[in-house]
Chains A and B, each alone.
Chain A
Amino acid sequence: MNIIEFENVTKHYSGQTALHDFSLAVAEGERIVILGPSGCGKTTVLRLLAGFIPPDSGAIKIAGETVAADGRTLKEPERRNLGMVFQDLALWPHLTVKGNLEFGLKARGVPKAERENRICTILGLVQMEEYAGVRPANLSGGQQQRVALARALVLNPRALLMDEPLSSLDLELNIRLRKEILELHNNIGFTLLYVTHDHDEAFDIGTRIVIMKDGNIDMAGSVEESREYFERTGPNLC
C-alpha cells in the first residue's frame, strides 16, 4: 500500500520552478532517499509533504487521503501525523530532552502514563535515557541528532521526513548515525523519506533512490541502479 503519493505536483517560488510535474509513490515501510544537489527541489518535496507550503498544481496524498491539491492545503501540518528531523534539528532550547519529546505527545492528547512509557522506550532505543533532564545545548552533536530522531519517532508518525540531518557532522559520526537510523528502522519499521546530497549516505540508507535534477526526477531505482546511473553520467547532476 502506498502511504505517500505525489501526483504531478508543480511548485514555483517567485517565478522560479522548484518542482515540475513531480510524481512519486512511497510504499509503507520503504526507505526512500531523495538525492540531488542544492536547488534541485528535494527540500521542497519534504516541505510540500509536511504541509508548510501548498503545491501550485497537482495533488499530495497521505494514506490515500488528499492533503493538498491545486494551491490549497486541505489538511494542516499538525493533522498529517508525520515526523520530521530538520537540517538544523530545531530542538527547542528552553525545554529539556524529555520536554522536547513530551511536547508533541501532549499536543496530541496522549495520557500521562502512556507519554512516560513512550518517552522511556524511545530514549532507550536511541541510548539517551540518562539525558532526559538535560537541555539540548548541553548535548554533543550526535546526541542532539538522536534526540531529534527520538522526538519525531515518539509520535508514531505515518512517515519520517529527514532533511539532510547529518550534513553538519564529521564523517565518523555521520557513518555511525546512519547505522543507528537503520537499526531504528529495523526495530520500529517506519516509512522514511530522507533528503541528502551525499551519495554514500544515500546508498547506505535508501532502499530506493530518487535522483532529482532541475525540479524533477531524473532517475528512480534501487541502490545498484543508482550506482550504475552515476557511473554512466558522472557525479555532477546540475
Chain B
Amino acid sequence: MFITVGLFCFLIVIMPILVLVAQSAHLSAYVEAFGRAEDSLLRSMAYAAAGASLLVLLGFFSGYLIHTRALPFWRGVDSITIFLFALPGTVIGIGLISLWNRPWTNFIYATPAIIILGYLARYTALTSRITVSALGLIPPSMEEAAQIAGAGWPRRMAIIVAPMTKTGLALGWLVGYIFCLRDMGITMMVYPPGHDTLPVRIFTLMANGSPELIAALCVLMISATLLPLTAGGIIFSLRGNH
C-alpha cells in the first residue's frame, strides 16, 4: 500500500521536476537562462519579499481584528479577504486596472506598486488566517497583563503580542513569499513595461525558447522558491537545537 502511494507521488510530483533538471543539464542552458531572465528572477524575488513583508503586516492587523472581534466589522474583513483569495487573479487584475489606470494614479499604476497591491488584495487571507491561528495559541491574559500594566495598543502589539507570535508570522512570511513568487494571474494583467516577473517571462519565452532554456528557467524558479524555505528550515532547526 505504502509502496503504491510512494510510487504514485514520485510519478506525479518528483518526476516532472527530475525531467526539468535532466532537460536543463547543460551549462549553456543556464548561461542563456541567466542572460535572458536574470532581471526577471531578481524582480520576482524582490517583489515576492516585499509582498510577503506587507502581507505579514496587513495579515497581522486583520488577523488580530478577526481573532479578538475588537470591532463590529470583523466578520466583513474575514469574508472579504477569503472572497478575494477565492477569485481568479485575472479578475482582481482587471479590477486593479479599472481602478488605477488613470493619469493621476500613474505613480501606482506605472510602477511595481500595482503588482504589490495585487498581491495584498489576493493573498491577505493567507497571512490573516495564519495570524488568527498563532494568536489562538496565546492566552488572552498575556495581552491583558500588558494592558493593565499601562501599555497602550501599539506597545502591546510591538513588545508582547507580535514577539509571541513570531513563529506564526515567520511562517506567514514564507507562505506569502511563495504565493507572491508563483503568482501569474495578477502579475500578467498589471505588470508595467520592463517589470515582468519570472513566471511571466517563462510563459512568454515558451512560444519560441528552446526546451533546455525553459527547463533551466523552471529550475531557477524552483530554486527561488526553495531558497527561503531552506533558510527558514535551517533557522528553525538551529533554534530547536538551542
Q: Which residues of A contact B (CB under 8 A)?
A: 50-52, 76-84, 86-88, 90-94, 103-104, 107-108, 151, 155
- In angstroms, Cα B155 to Cα A82, docked, is 18
Interface hits, B142-167 → A, CB 8 Å: 142, 144-152, 155, 159-160, 163-164
Q: Report A86 CB to chain B, min CB distance, Å.
A: 4
30 contacts between A and B (CB under 8 A): A51-B148, A52-B144, A77-B144, A77-B147, A78-B149, A78-B150, A78-B151, A80-B148, A81-B150, A83-B148, A84-B145, A84-B148, A86-B144, A86-B145, A87-B141, A88-B139, A88-B141, A90-B139, A90-B145, A91-B145, A92-B160, A93-B164, A94-B163, A94-B164, A103-B159, A103-B160, A104-B150, A104-B151, A107-B155, A108-B150
**B145, A155: Cβ atoms closer than 8 Å:** no
In the assembled complex, the Cα of A87 lies from the Cα of B152 at a distance in Å of 23
Do B148 and A50 touch (CB < 8 A)? Answer: yes
Task: For B160, list chain A residues within 8 Å (CB).
Answer: 92, 103
Bound Cα distance from A91 to B142, whole angstroms? 7
Contact among A50, A51, A91, A107 for B152, CB-based, below 8 A: A107
- A82 near B159: Cβ-Cβ < 8 Å: no
Rounded to whole Å, the gap between the CB of B141 and the closest CB of chain A is: 4
Select A86's contact among B141, B155, B159, B164, beta carbons within 8 Å. Answer: B141
Q: Which residues of B contact A83 (CB under 8 A)?
A: 148
Decide if the interface of chain A is mainly helix, strand, loop or mixed.
loop
Contact of A90 among B141, B150, B151, B163 (CB under 8 A): B141
**Residues of B within 8 A of A (CB-CB), count:** 17
8 extra A-B contacts, CB within 8 A, seeds A76-B147, A92-B146, A108-B150: A78-B147, A78-B150, A81-B150, A87-B141, A90-B141, A90-B145, A94-B164, A151-B149
Given contact pairs A92-B160, A93-B164, A94-B164, A107 touches B150 in the complex (Cβ within 8 A):
yes
**Neighbouring A residues of B146 by C-beta, 8 Å:** 92, 103-104, 107
B139 to nearest A CB, angstroms?
6
B163 touches A155 (CB 8 A): no
Given contacts A103-B159, A107-B155, contact A92 B150 (CB under 8 A): no
Q: Are B144 and A155 in contact (CB under 8 A)?
A: no
- A39 to B: closest C-beta gap in Å: 19
The listed residue (A93, A103, A151) touching B151 by CB distance below 8 A is: A103
Determine the distance from Cα of A196 to Cα of B147 in the docked complex, in whole angstroms: 23
Nearest Cβ on chain B to A84's Cβ, whole angstroms: 5
A residues in contact with B163, CB < 8 Å: 94
B102-146 vs A, CB cutoff 8 Å, 1 = contact: the mask equals 000000000000000000000000000000000000010110111
Chain B nearest CB from A205 CB (Å) reads 21
Smallest CB–CB gap between B233 and chain A, Å?
Answer: 22
| Measured CA separation A108–B148 after assembly (Å) | 11
**What chain A residues lie within 8 Å of B142 (beta carbons)?**
90, 92
Q: How far is the CB of B240 from chain A (nearest CB, A)?
A: 15
Chain B positions within 8 Å of A108 at CB level: 150
Least distance between A108 CB and chain B CB atoms (Å): 4
Q: How distant is the Cα of A93 from the Cα of B142 in the complex, in angstroms?
A: 10
Pick from B142, B146, B147, B148 the residue with the most CB of A within 10 Å.
B148
Cβ–Cβ < 8 Å partners of B155 in chain A: 107
Residues of A within 8 A of B145 (CB): 84, 86, 90-92, 151
Please give me the residue from chain A that is nearest to B163 by CB atom. A94
B166's nearest neighbour on chain A, judged by CB, is: A94
Chain B contacts for A91, CB-based, 8 A: 145
